[in-house]
Chains A and B, each alone.
Chain A
Amino acid sequence: GAVVSQHPSRVICKSGTSVKIECRSLDFQATTMFWYRQFPKQSLMLMATSNEGSKATYEQGVEKDKFLINHASLTLSTLTVTSAHPEDSSFYICSARADTYTGELFFGEGSRLTVL
């Protein structure tokens, strides 16, 4: 079946550094990808919608200058957490919507970010 690869799966960084997370659709094209954040025992919260070749659409309350999204190709979207702080520690998950009639959604394996 379709696969979405997320990398890295786990990252630990110091406060103030920037971290880039990649979301790649391996066997299908995805014009649209989504980035979610999930805190422990809470639901997935949509952060932004990433559109290939255009600016991402951010949800209310998500700082676009802090969470930089780039969707340069039909198979890759990246999320960069800039100047990370401990409160940014979370599970970040991407999903990709296949460019097919059904537009099925596939999730990446998630990236666990810990900011010290």
Chain B
Amino acid sequence: RKEVEQDPGPFNVPEGATVAFNCTYSNSASQSFFWYRQDCRKEPKLLMSVYSSGNEDGRFTAQLNRASQYISLLIRDSKLSDSATYLCVASISGSARQLTFGSGTQLTVLP
């Protein structure tokens, strides 16, 4: 079983739609969680950290459920520029060596 599992998609949604990505992690010792965005053939870029209380950044909302070991990302009013692969990342500690990446969920926003 993968340590961090994501639905690979692809998700094809019309512009303006709301889309949700789910992610589960198997290591209960994981303490920090992130969503990264990766464009085709580019490096991943930090989208947002995920906090237990849930956090929002503009059109993006991240949620964490430690009991279920589940993380989510919600994108509202999706834009064409949101098309990318979204990577769910878990970390056992603050050490970046322990970053575990999911395989990513591909999103395509259609005009």
Contact = CB atoms under 8 A, between A and B. Distances in A.
Contacts of A41: 8, 103-104
Given A43-B101, A43-B102, A44-B101, A97 B96 contact: yes
A87 B41 CA distance: 18
A58 B45 CA distance: 24
B9 to A, nearest CB: 10
B96 A105 contact: yes
A107 B41 CA distance: 13
A103 B101 contact: no
A95 B44 CA distance: 10
The range of chain B's interface size is 10 to 19
Contacts of B102: 43
A60 B101 CA distance: 16
A43 B43 contact: no
A52 to B, nearest CB: 15
A43 B104 CA distance: 7
B106 to A, nearest CB: 8
Interface in B87-111: 87, 94, 96-97, 99, 101-104
Contacts of B99: 46, 105
Interface stretch (A13-21, A70-78, A108-116): A108-116
18 contacts: A32-B96, A34-B97, A41-B8, A43-B101, A43-B102, A44-B44, A44-B101, A45-B101, A46-B97, A49-B97, A91-B41, A97-B96, A103-B96, A105-B46, A109-B42, A110-B41, A110-B43, A112-B41
Listed from nearest, the 9 A-B pairs whose CB atoms lie closest are A107-B43, A43-B103, A43-B101, A44-B101, A105-B96, A110-B43, A49-B97, A97-B96, A109-B43
